[in-house]
C-alpha cells in the first residue's frame, strides 16, 4: 500500500491510499479517482514529503515527532471547527443516541444537545416518527474511562 497526496484542478489537496503506483494510474485512467472535497476527476499527484521513521538508535528530537503534511484546506478547517463546537457544546451519548433522542422528543428526558451513534434502521425510524436528527459529517471522538 502507498499513500499519495493528491491535488485536483481546483487546488484541493487530500490524501488517499492505493495498492501501488500502477494501481493509481490504472484507476485514474478509468476515471475512478476524484477529489474527496469537490468530486473533480482532474486529479494529479501532488508534491509530498516522505515519512521515514528513524532507526531504533536515532534520537527523536522535536523536529522528528511531527510528520510533514500539507496545510489543511478551508473545508477541512471548517469541518474540524464544526466537530470542535459540537463536542464542546453537546453531550456524547454513544450508542444510546436513538433512545435519548426519542426520550427528549416525548418529554421523558430534559432537552439538551446530544450527539452519538445509531444504527441506520434506528435513525430512519426517528426520522419517520418526526424526531429531528441529522447525520454528522465526521465520526464522533469516542470517550473512554
How is 42-69 classified by DSSP, letter by letter? -EEEPP-----PPPTTS---HHHHSPP-
What one-character DSSP code corresponds to residue 30?
T
The ranges of the chain annotated as CATH 2.20.28 are: 1-48
Q: How far is CA 64 from CA 39, 47, 49, 142, in A?
A: 34, 20, 13, 28
Fold for 1-48, please state it.
Answer: Rubrerythrin, domain 2 (2.20.28)
pLDDT (tens digit, 0 to 9) for every residue of the chain, 145 residues total?
788 889 989 888 888 888 888 988 999 898 888 888 888 888 998 876 666 777 776 555 555 455 555 567 888 888 888 888 988 999 999 899 999 999 999 999 999 999 999 998 999 999 999 999 988 887 776 555 4
Residue 5 forms beta bridges with which residues? 15
- What span, in angstroms and rounded, lies between the C-alpha atoms of 29 and 14? 19
- What span, in angstroms and rounded, lies between the C-alpha atoms of 63 and 6? 25
Residue pair 89/113 in contact (Cβ under 8 Å)? The answer is: yes
pLDDT at 60: 53
**3-state secondary structure at position 72:** coil
- What span, in angstroms and rounded, lies between the C-alpha atoms of 120 and 131? 14
Cβ neighbors of 109 (< 8 A, separation 6 or more) are 100, 103
pTM reported for the whole predicted model: 0.49
Amino acid at each position: 500500500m502507498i499513500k499519495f497526496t493528491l491535488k485536483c484542478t481546483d487546488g484541493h489537496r487530500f490524501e488517499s491510499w492505493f495498492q501501488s503506483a500502477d494501481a493509481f494510474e490504472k484507476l485514474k485512467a478509468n476515471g475512478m479517482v476524484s477529489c474527496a472535497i469537490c468530486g473533480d476527476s482532474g486529479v494529479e499527484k501532488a508534491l509530498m514529503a516522505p515519512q521515514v521513521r528513524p532507526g531504533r538508535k536515532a534520537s527523536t528530537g522535536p523536529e522528528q515527532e511531527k510528520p510533514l503534511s500539507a496545510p489543511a484546506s478551508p473545508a477541512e478547517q471548517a469541518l474540524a471547527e464544526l466537530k470542535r463546537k459540537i463536542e464542546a457544546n453537546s453531550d456524547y451519548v454513544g450508542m444510546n443516541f436513538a433512545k435519548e433522542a426519542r426520550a427528549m422528543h416525548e418529554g421523558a428526558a430534559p432537552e439538551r444537545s446530544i450527539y452519538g451513534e445509531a444504527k441506520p434502521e434506528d435513525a430512519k425510524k426517528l426520522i419517520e416518527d418526526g424526531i429531528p436528527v441529522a447525520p454528522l459529517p465526521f465520526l464522533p471522538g469516542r470517550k473512554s474511562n
